[in-house]
Each structure stands twice: as structure tokens, then as C-alpha cells.
């Protein structure tokens, strides 16, 4: 059995701390409203729903504060860079920063759950307030010690010096649409802002599903920016102060006065002056103003960078419907495995698409490879003059804007003694940058790399997908052989489908040739899917006592397999330790 603590230990601690903060804060607020003497009378009217609703509302503030931070890409890159230079900040800490989008989604699920409970609790709360207003005489059961104060509480605003506790008192019961309960709730500041807030969240949450994000990206992009309304309503929601607390507990002792309504009298009287109620101060702004300020700064930085001029110096049309854009931008600095966001204003002013950089930091340009498989990428190829056989002058190419670069898990590849790099299909792009950087660094005689061994796996669905990348692998392989490091790079290419009967015969006839029949590389292509468990066991045997970084870019299903294999085959006591890293955009 492997040691799960290597990959799951710090993540588990972080999740437990977050859950503990939510549970602890929920219990604290619930306890205050459920047992606090200042909320005694509102509890009599509403019941435990007020404590549940307020506790969920408090945790909504906590998670709404956190949800903006994981999508501040510049903040994440800054923290990652700080960890890079801080010896106390280990690789495992940096790896948690790479799970920022996962944490963002987890926060959204928590907000959804809290929102549901909060809304249901407040529905029953307002139902009770409405019933108390309309039938205070029979609101408490016969024999209850509080029967006599029911109407006293309802009529407080009509008493000399009294203040209200039931918000329905200040509203006209004869409302125009014939749904007094609903209308009484909605006309409150907390009511209409809560309805808008909830509807906006439902739209954002439902449009963020993977299907909509991949098939209707603009829908996802537009609806997700409704978060501006969400936070505006969150700030407004508590201003009305519907739930009020008693302020004169010393003069009006709830222990004796709550069961002796005949003693209630105007302020200054003894022994039971009317209870005085005050609204609580809105608290949401204290939680979210900081993250909102950080996010505004984040967007400002992105805007400034997106306005900087980007020069497309070369467009290369590769086989398999892949185009390469080589670009230059003043002040642009990158590291291996980083990614950028690209926008082409002539196609859309709102669509930003993430692409991994395929150039190396040592190159005097930065590049991306784009596979034209969708409407936007096809239109981009046309705008760049890569849709036909004619050459387009650089002055006629469409203008592009670039935001980034941003850090990813692949930045840590040079921090390990050995690395397993797995790319599925076009997911090979992060490793193009890494392999190019290895090429450049291997030519520096004074530079000693910590990375001693690279196992590269490329899984492709069809034969055409090999073509654009095989030249780089071939060149790097030959270069390492010349450097006397033939064992440094061990690559394996897997073709999962897409070969015809004729191709199969050709492959069989050329089996004894030095180069592969499909890729032209020395390493023969494997057909079918890798047996990952056997592969990890073999690598563990070859690298005892070694920290092995596992880096993956591709579909989620394979990620789960690699993650399990990393946990299963890790041995913290003298064996190989597999640290799993996945690309997130």
C-alpha cells in the first residue's frame, strides 16, 4: 500500500481547517442567537429558525470573502513566486496553490448549501412573523406563560416610547397582488435583496457546469460576471436590520418581565419598562470589502497588461490542424510550463482563452500551439492567415492581446530528481516548453540540473496527432545522445485508436526498422492504453528513495487514474515518493 500522506496530507489539513472554521463559526453564531438574552423575544416569535438562518448567513459571509481570492490569478502567481524563493515554503505548499480553481468550486458548493438552508429558515421565520402580526391573541398555545405578552410585543410601536420587534408592523397588510405573505417579505430590504442575490447565484452556479463552459463559453463568461450584482446585494442585504436585539436588558429583566405582562409600562417606570429593540449593524461589508479591493486591483493589472502591444512575429502551420503563434511583448518574462490568456478583439472583445506557452524561457520570443477544433480556434486560424496555403503578411495579421504569464504546477518540474510527464492529446503543450528548456539548459556547461531523469508519456487518440511534436522529441533525443545523456529522457508514445488495416500492415512490415513507422522516432509507438500501475511500479524500482514529480495535462478521467497510482506506489520509508501535479486553468 502506498502512502497517501504524500499527496493528500496537506490538502486534508487545509480542508479540515476550512471546514472547522465554518463549523466553529456556525456554532458560535447559532449559540449567540439561540441562547443570547438580547434575542429572547425574537426567539419567542420566530423559534429556532432565526438562529439557523443567522448562523448560515454568517458562514455565507465567510465563504463569500474567500471565493474571490482563488480566481485572482496574479495573487496566486505572486504567492507561488514567494513560496519559490522562501525555503520554509515547501513544494507541498505550492502544490495547494495549484488547486485554486478546485477550491473556488468547493466554495461555490458550500455557498449553495448555506444559501438553501438560509432561505428555507427565513421563509419559516417570516411565516411566523406574519402569523404573529395577524393573530397575536392565539399565537402562543393556551397555558403558555408568554400568552399575555404576545400582543404587547406586536403593539410596541403604539406604546409610549416603545420600539418595534415585528417588521410586519410597519407595512400595509392590504398589498396589491393578493399574496400578502410573499409581498410582506419582498418589500423588506432584506427580502428583495435576498431574492435578487439568490437568483443571481442560481444563474451563475448553473451556467458554470462543465457542459456549458465548454460548449457555450460566452454564456458562462457573461453570467459569471453577475458576481458584481451578487456582492452588491450581499452588502445591501443586512442594512434593513429585520432581526433586532433588545438593548435594555438591565431595566427590563426578561426572567421576570416576560411572564408578567401586567407590569409592562412606559420607559422610566418600574419594575418592567417596555423592552427596547435596536437593529444590528450590517456585517457583510466587513468580510468582503478586502477581497473586493484585491479583485479590483487584480482586474486593473489585467487591463493594463491586456492593453500592451503584442507583436505576432511568425505564424507556423503544423500538421493535424495545429498552428503556432510566435509573439513578442515588451517586458514579457516567462518560466517553463506557464500559461497565458489570449484575446483576439476582431473575433470577440470578451473571450479570453488560456493557452500553455510552448516556448522556453531561453527563447527570444514566446509561443503557443493552438489546435483548431472549435469555432473560435478556427476563426483565429483564419485571422492569422493559417487557413490556406497562402502566406499572410505580418502587417495584415489580426491584433491579439495577452494577459499573463501565470504559474502552474509544471513550474516545479526542475525541483524533483525525476519527473513523469504525461500529456493527453493537445495536453502535451506544457511539456513542449519544459523539453525546450531542458535542451537550452543542457548546453550550459556550468549549470547542474537537479532533474536527472524524465519519463515522458504522450497518449494520442489518432495517428495525425503525433506529427507536430515528433520533430522536437527527435531533436532532443539526438541532442541528449550527443551529450552522453542517452538515459536522461525516456519517452513513450501511445496510440489509443485511429489506425486503419492498411496502416496496421505497414506497421507490421516495418517492425524491424530502426525508426517507428508512424512517428519516425527511435522509440516505437505503443498501441492501446498504458498499464499505469505496472509503469509506476517499474519507475519506483528504478528510483528508490527519490522524489518523483508526476505532471499531467489532459482529461479528468486519466487524472484520477494517475492520482491513485501516485498514492498507491509512494513509499515514504526509503522508497520512491510520487508527488502528483495537475494543470489547472
Q: What is the model's pLDDT at position 112?
A: 94
Q: What is the model's pLDDT at position 33?
A: 93
CB atoms within 10 A of CB 486: 11
Q: Please give the helix or strand (H or E) that residue 198 lies within, else none.
A: helix 189-206
The region of weakest confidence among 114-123, 340-349, 476-485 is 476-485
Residues 349-363, buried b or exposed e (16+ Cβ, 10 A)?
eeebbbbbbbbbbeb
The region of weakest confidence among 125-139, 451-465, 504-518 is 504-518
Task: Write the CA distances from 393 to 314, 345, 386, 396, integer angstroms.
Answer: 10, 19, 11, 5
Q: How many CA atoms lie within 13 A of 326 on its CB side?
A: 12
d(CA 339, CA 397): 22
Q: What is the model's pLDDT at position 292?
A: 93
d(CA 310, CA 344): 11
Choose among 290, 279, 292, 128: nearest CA to 190: 279
Task: Write the CA distances from 330 to 175, 340, 348, integer angstroms.
Answer: 63, 15, 24
All structural domains of the chain, each given as residue ranges with its CATH number in brackets, are 21-188+240-298 (no CATH), 308-406 (2.40.30.10), 409-582 (3.40.50.80)
Q: Please give the helix or strand (H or E) that residue 164 lies within, else none.
A: none
Band (pLDDT 50/70/90 cuts) for residue 509 is very low
What is the grid cell recorded at 572? 515514504
| Span 48-76, pLDDT tens digits | 999 999 999 999 999 999 999 998 888 88
d(CA 423, CA 472): 15
In the predicted model, is pLDDT for residue 466 greater than 70? no
Label residue 126 exposed, middle or buried (CB < 10 Å: 0-12, 13-18, 19+): buried
Band (pLDDT 50/70/90 cuts) for residue 295 is very high
Task: Write the CA distances from 513 to 489, 500, 516, 524, 555, integer angstroms.
Answer: 21, 20, 7, 10, 33
d(CA 28, CA 30): 6
CB atoms within 10 A of CB 179: 11
Q: What is the model's pLDDT at position 413?
A: 79
Give the mean model confidence (pLDDT) for residues 83-91.
Answer: 55
With 0.85 as the threshold, say if the pTM is over it.
no
Band (pLDDT 50/70/90 cuts) for residue 88 is very low
Q: How many CA atoms lie within 13 A of 13 on its CB side?
A: 9
In the predicted model, is pLDDT for residue 121 greater than 90? yes
Give the mean model confidence (pLDDT) for residues 219-232.
Answer: 90
Q: What is the model's pLDDT at position 533?
A: 87
Q: What is the model's pLDDT at position 62?
A: 94
In the predicted model, is pLDDT for residue 518 greater than 60? no
Q: Which position has the higher pLDDT, 227 or 169?
A: 227
| Span 364-422, pLDDT tens digits | 888 888 888 778 888 888 888 877 655 455 666 888 888 878 877 777 777 888 888 88
d(CA 458, CA 427): 9
Task: Write the CA distances from 476 to 206, 316, 437, 457, integer angstroms.
Answer: 46, 20, 10, 15
SS3 call for 195: helix
Task: Write the CA distances from 271 to 39, 156, 251, 387, 582, integer angstroms.
Answer: 20, 17, 8, 89, 69
Label residue 581 exposed, middle or buried (CB < 10 Å: 0-12, 13-18, 19+): buried
CB 84 within 8 A of CB 94: yes
In the predicted model, is pLDDT for residue 13 greater than 80? yes
Q: Which position has the higher pLDDT, 267 or 426?
A: 267
What is the grid cell recorded at 377? 480556434
Task: Write the CA distances from 33 to 36, 240, 528, integer angstroms.
Answer: 5, 18, 62
Q: What integer best gives the mean pLDDT of the chain?
A: 80
What is the grid cell recorded at 295? 479583485
d(CA 542, CA 545): 10
In the predicted model, is pLDDT for residue 115 greater than 90? yes
In the predicted model, is pLDDT for residue 32 greater than 60? yes
What is the grid cell recorded at 322? 495545429
Question: Distance of alpha carbon 201 from its chain centroid, rounded?
Answer: 15
Q: What is the model's pLDDT at position 489?
A: 77
Amino acid at each position: 500500500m502506498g502512502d497517501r500522506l504524500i499527496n493528500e496530507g496537506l490538502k486534508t489539513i487545509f480542508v479540515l481547517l476550512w471546514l472547522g472554521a465554518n463549523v466553529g463559526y456556525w456554532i458560535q453564531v447559532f449559540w449567540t442567537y439561540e441562547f443570547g438574552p438580547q434575542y429572547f423575544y425574537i426567539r419567542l416569535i420566530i423559534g429556532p429558525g432565526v438562529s439557523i438562518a443567522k448562523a448560515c448567513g454568517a458562514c455565507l459571509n465567510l465563504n463569500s470573502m474567500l471565493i474571490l481570492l482563488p480566481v485572482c490569478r496574479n495573487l496566486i502567481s505572486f504567492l507561488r513566486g514567494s513560496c519559490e524563493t522562501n525555503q520554509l515554503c515547501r513544494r507541498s505548499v505550492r502544490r495547494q496553490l495549484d488547486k485554486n480553481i478546485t477550491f473556488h468550486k468547493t466554495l461555490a458548493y458550500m455557498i449553495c448549501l448555506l444559501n438553501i438552508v438560509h432561505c428555507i429558515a427565513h421563509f419559516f421565520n417570516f411565516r411566523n412573523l406574519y402569523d404573529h402580526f395577524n393573530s397575536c391573541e392565539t399565537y402562543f398555545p393556551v397555558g403558555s406563560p408568554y400568552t399575555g405578552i404576545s400582543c404587547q410585543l406586536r403593539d410596541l410601536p403604539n406604546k409610549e416610547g416603545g420600539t418595534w420587534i415585528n417588521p410586519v408592523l410597519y407595512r400595509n397588510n392590504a398589498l396589491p397582488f393578493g399574496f400578502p405573505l410573499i409581498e410582506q417579505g419582498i418589500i423588506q430590504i432584506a427580502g428583495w435583496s435576498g431574492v435578487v442575490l439568490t437568483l443571481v447565484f442560481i444563474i451563475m452556479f448553473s451556467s458554470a457546469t462543465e457542459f456549458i463552459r465548454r460548449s457555450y463559453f460566452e454564456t458562462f463568461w457573461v453570467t459569471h460576471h453577475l458576481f458584481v450584482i451578487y456582492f452588491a446585494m450581499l452588502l445591501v442585504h443586512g442594512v434593513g436590520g429585520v432581526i433586532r436585539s433588545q438593548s435594555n436588558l438591565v431595566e427590563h429583566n426578561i426572567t421576570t418581565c416576560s411572564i408578567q405582562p401586567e407590569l409592562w409600562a412606559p420607559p422610566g417606570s418600574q419594575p418592567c419598562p417596555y423592552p427596547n429593540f435596536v437593529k444590528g449593524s450590517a456585517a457583510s461589508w466587513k468580510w468582503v470589502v478586502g477581497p473586493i479591493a484585491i479583485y479590483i486591483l487584480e482586474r486593473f493589472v489585467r487591463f493594463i497588461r491586456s492593453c500592451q502591444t503584442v507583436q505576432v512575429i511568425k505564424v507556423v502551420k503544423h500538421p493535424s490542424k495545429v498552428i503556432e503563434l510566435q509573439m513578442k511583448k515588451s517586458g514579457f518574462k516567462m518560466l517553463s510550463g506557464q500559461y497565458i490568456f489570449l484575446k483576439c478583439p476582431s473575433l470577440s472583445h470578451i473571450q479570453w482563452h488560456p493557452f500553455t506557452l510552448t516556448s522556453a524561457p531561453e527563447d527570444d520570443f514566446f509561443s503557443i500551439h493552438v489546435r483548431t477544433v472549435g469555432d473560435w480556434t478556427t476563426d483565429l486560424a483564419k485571422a492569422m492567415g493559417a487557413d490556406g496555403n497562402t502566406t499572410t503578411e505580418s502587417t495584415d495579421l489580426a491584433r491579439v492581446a495577452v494577459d499573463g504569464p501565470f504559474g502552474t504546477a509544471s513550474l516545479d518540474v526542475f525541483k524533483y530528481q525525476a519527473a513523469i510527464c504525461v500529456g493527453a492529446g493537445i495536453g502535451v503543450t506544457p511539456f513542449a516548453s519544459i523539453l525546450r528548456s531542458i535542451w537550452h539548459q543542457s548546453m550550459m556547461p556550468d549549470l547542474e540540473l537537479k532533474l536527472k531523469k524524465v519519463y515522458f508519456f504522450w497518449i494520442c487518440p489518432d495517428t495525425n496527432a503525433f506529427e507536430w511534436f515528433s520533430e522536437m522529441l527527435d531533436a532532443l533525443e539526438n541532442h541528449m545522445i550527443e551529450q552522453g545523456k542517452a538515459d536522461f529522457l525516456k519517452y513513450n508514445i501511445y496510440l489509443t485508436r485511429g489506425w486503419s488495416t492498411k496502416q496496421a500492415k505497414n506497421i507490421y512490415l516495418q517492425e524491424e526498422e530502426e525508426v517507428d513507422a508512424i512517428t519516425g522516432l527511435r522509440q516505437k509507438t505503443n498501441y492501446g492504453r498504458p498499464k499505469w500501475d505496472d509503469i509506476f511500479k517499474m519507475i519506483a524500482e528504478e528510483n528508490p528513495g527519490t522524489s518523483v514529480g508526476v505532471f499531467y495535462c489532459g482529461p479528468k478521467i486519466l487524472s484520477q487514474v494517475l492520482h491513485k497510482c501516485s498514492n498507491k506506489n509512494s513509499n515514504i520509508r526509503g522508497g520512491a515518493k510520487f508527488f502528483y501535479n495537475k494543470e489547472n486553468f
